[in-house]
Structure 1
Amino acid sequence: MSTLRLPKLSVLDLVTVSEGSTSADAIAASKRLVDAADRLGYHRYWVAEHHNTSSVASTSPAVLLAHLGQNTSQIRLGSGGVMLPNHAPLIVAEQFALLEAMFPGRIDLGLGRAPGTDPITAAALRRAPGTEAVERFPEDVFELLGLLGEVRPEHSNEWLRRLRATPVPGSDVPEIWILGSSLYGAELAAKLGLPYSFANHFGMGSNPVSPVEHYRHHFVPSERWPKPHVLMSASVIVADSFEEAKRLAMPSRIAGWQLRMGKLGPVQSPDQAAETASRIVDQEMFSRVRGTQHLGTGEQVARQLAELAEQTGADELLLAATTYDVEDRIRTLEALAPYLP
C-alpha cells in the first residue's frame, strides 16, 4: 500500500437523475452514497441547490439533508451551496438552525450568489428585481452570521435581541462558508474571515491558484477562523483502469456539452453517451468539453489529487462525480478511502 496521504476528503453530491430514473431514484441513490461516505470516514457531505431541470433532484438542500443525514453518525452535512439571493436570510438561518438541532456539531452552510437556475425561474423564486438580490449578497451573509449566533462587534445588539433564528443552537452553530469560482467569492470570504470553497469541479479551465492566493493574502482573522481555510473541489472517477474510468466519465462530458448547448437532460449511460458523442457534429468544440478532470485507478487519482492539493495549498478536497450508476460513485469513494488522513 502506498504511503501517500491526502488532505481531508469530502463528497459533493449533485443528486443527478439518470436516464430512465426518477427523482425518487436519485434521492435513494444519494442516501446510499452518504451512508457509504459516513462509513468510510469522509469528512463532509454537501448537496447543492438547482431549479427547473429534469437532471437534478436537489432543489432544497435543507430538506434533502434532513433526510440524507438520518442514520449517519459522524460525517458533516452541508450545502454546496444554498444560493442566497433566492432566499430571505432568516428563512435560511431557521432551516440550518433546525438542521443543527437535528445533527449537533455537524452542519455546514455553504453560500453562493448565483441563482442556480435560469432568469425566468429566478423571477419565480421571488428574488428582488434586477441585480438587487445579488448586490445584497455581502449584507445577507453578514446578517446570516448574526442570526445563527456568530455575532460580530459590528452587529446591532438591539436587532439581535429582537430577532434570532430558532431553534437556538447549543454550543455549536453551523459553519458558514463562501463558495465561488472567481475572485469575488475569495474577496468576500477573506473580508469576513470565513472559510472559502473554490468550485474547481466545473472543469471550465479556470485557474484555482489565483483566487485562493488572493483569499489567503487578504484574509482578516475572525474569532472562529483565526487562519484562512480552503476547500477545493474536484471531479473524479476511479475504476480498475484508466480506460474504464474514461468510459464511465463519458456521461459527464455529454452533460457538460448539453449544459453548453442549453439542453441539459438526465445522465446517460456510458454506452448511450458514447453513441451521443459520435453524433455530435462539431467535434472540435466537443473536444474542448473537459468533463471529469481526474480519472484512473485509485492510486492514479490519489496522486492527481495530491498534486492539486500541493498546487493550491488546499486544506481539504471536495470530490464530485457525475456517473450513470451510483455504484460507480461508491466504488470511487471506496478506492480513495485508503488515502484518507
Structure 2
Amino acid sequence: MRLLKLGILDQSPIGTGENATTALWHTIELARRAERLGYSRFWVSEHHDSGSLAGSSPEVLLSAIGSHTSHIRIGSGGVLLPHYSPYKVAENFRILEGLYPGRVDLGIGRAPGGMPLSSLALRGDGASSRDDKLPEMLAELGAYLETGAPLPKEHPLAGLTATPKVGTAPEIWLLGSSGFSAALAGRMGAKFSFAQFINGNGGQSATSEYSRGYRPGPLGRRPQVSVCVFVICADSDLTAEREAKAMDLRLLQQEKGEYFRSFPTPEEAAAYPYTEWERARIAENRKRMIVGGPARVRSSLLALADSYRTDEVLIACMMSDFRLRLRCYELLADLFFLRR
C-alpha cells in the first residue's frame, strides 16, 4: 500500500470570535498534536498587517513550538528574505538550530507577505530594490550558515561569522509558486517546495524543471521536492464541502486585497451573492484545494504526490472551527498510517 509523508503548514488563522493570542496557542497545540500523530514536519508562515492571520514572526513562534515538542521537524514556511539582512536570518536560525539540533528547516520565500505599506516598513528606503538581489542574498546566507562557500575576499563582509557557532545547520528550502523560484532553487542547491495552495497551475512542470536543472550550490547538496496544498477533510463529503465554501469566499477576499477581514463563516459564504466572475474564480481556485471525506481526499493526495513525483505533501488546513482542523489532521494521519 502506497504511503506518504505528510507535513503541516500552519498560518495561525484567527477564527470567528477569537483573537490573535488564541490563534497562536492553537498553533502550538496543533504542533503538539502533529508530533503525536506522526507528521514529518511542522512549518509556520509569515504574514504582516493581517487581521486574520497571527503569524508575523516565524522565528519567534518556532522557538516556542520547539519548546513544546521533542522530535518533529519545525520550520519556516517561509522567512521572506528580501525584507531582511541575510546575516540576521542566519543568526536567528543558528540559535534555533542550537536549541533544537537536527530539527530545523529554514524555508525561504520572496513574496511580500502583506500589502505595500508593510513592505515599506520592513525594508525601509530599499523597499523596491532587493528582489533582483535575491541570488546574492541567498549566497550570502549560505556563507553564514556554512552550507556554501565563504564570502569572497573582495566582499565587504568577508570574514564575518554568524553566531552562535553550533554543530549542525538547518535544512534550507526555497518555497515558490512559479518556474522562476524552482529554477533558482535548482541553481542554488536548495530543496524546493511548490506552493500549490497559492498557484494551482504549473507546479508539476516547475518541479520537473527544478529536478532537471539541479546542481549542488551554496544552499545544499541534494535535491528534494515537496508540494503544499490546501486540504479540507472531514468525516463526510458534505461537511467538507460546507467548509470549503467558506474557504472559497476567503480566497476571493484575498484577491480583492481584503486582508483585514476575519475569516468568513460557512453561513456567510452560503448567503454571499456571487457574480458570474466570482464563480469562475472559485472554480479556478479549487485547483489549490483538495476537498472531501476520507476516501476522496486519500485518492486525491496520492494522485497529487504522483504528479509531482514526491513522497511528501504539506497540508494547509483552514476550517471554521479549531476542532474541525484537528479532526482533519487526525483523519489524514489515520488514512496514511502516520501513527504506525
What TM-score results when the alignment is normalised by the length of structure 1?
A: 0.91
**Which residue is 1:305 aligned to?**
301
C-alpha distance in structure 2 between counterparts of 1:223 and 1:129, whole Å? 25
**Which residue is 1:211 aligned to?**
206
C-alpha distance in structure 2 between counterparts of 1:245 and 1:37, whole Å? 20
C-alpha distance in structure 1 between counterparts of 2:169 and 2:126, whole Å? 32
Q: Answer yes or no: is 1:89 the counterpart of 2:86.
A: yes
Q: CA RMSD in A?
A: 2.0
Q: Answer yes or no: is 1:51 the counterpart of 2:44.
A: no
**Which residue is 2:239 aligned to?**
244
What TM-score results when the alignment is normalised by the length of structure 2?
A: 0.91
Is the Cα contact below 8 Å between 1:187 and 1:214 reproduced in 2?
A: yes
Q: Alpha carbons of 1:147 and 1:227: their partners in 2 closer, same or farther (altered >3 Å)?
A: closer
C-alpha distance in structure 2 between counterparts of 1:76 and 1:157, whole Å? 35
Deviations 1:19-75 (A, max 9, x none): 221100101111111111011110111111111110110110001111122221111
Is the Cα contact below 8 Å between 2:3 and 2:337 reproduced in 1?
A: yes
Deviations 1:195-225 (A, max 9, x none): 00110012x4312111111101111135985
Which sections of structure 2, spanning at least 5 residues, go unmatched?
A: none
Q: Answer yes or no: is 1:129 the counterpart of 2:126.
A: yes
Identity among equivalent positions (%) equals: 37
Query: Aligned AA for 2:240?
Result: A
Pick one of 213, 216, 220 that aligns with 2:215.
220
**Which residue is 1:288 aligned to?**
281
Q: Alpha carbons of 1:216 and 1:128: their partners in 2 closer, same or farther (altered >3 Å)?
A: farther
Q: Answer yes or no: is 1:5 the counterpart of 2:3.
A: yes
Q: Secondary structure at the match of 1:77?
A: strand
**Which residue is 1:27 aligned to?**
24
**Which residue is 1:322 aligned to?**
318
Is the Cα contact below 8 Å between 1:236 and 1:294 reproduced in 2?
A: yes
Q: Secondary structure at the match of 1:319?
A: strand
Pick one of 319, 329, 332 that aligns with 2:328.
332
Q: Secondary structure at the match of 1:333?
A: helix
Matches within 5 A, 1:191-206: 191-202=187-198, 204-206=199-201
Deviations 1:218-242 (A, max 9, x none): 1113598544210101110111111
C-alpha distance in structure 1 between counterparts of 2:223 and 2:234, whole Å? 34
The offset of 1:274, in angstroms, is 2.1
**Which residue is 1:118 aligned to?**
115
Q: Answer yes or no: is 1:138 the counterpart of 2:131.
A: no
The offset of 1:315, in angstroms, is 3.6
Q: Secondary structure at the match of 2:52?
A: coil
Aligned length: 332
Which sections of structure 1, spanning at least 5 residues, go unmatched?
A: none
Q: Secondary structure at the match of 2:296?
A: helix
Q: Alpha carbons of 1:23 and 1:128: their partners in 2 closer, same or farther (altered >3 Å)?
A: same
The offset of 1:127, in angstroms, is 4.4
Q: Answer yes or no: is 1:106 the counterpart of 2:103.
A: yes
Deviations 1:116-147 (A, max 9, x none): 11112111112453532111111111111111
C-alpha distance in structure 2 between counterparts of 1:97 and 1:157, whole Å? 23
Is the Cα contact below 8 Å between 2:232 and 2:243 reproduced in 1?
A: yes
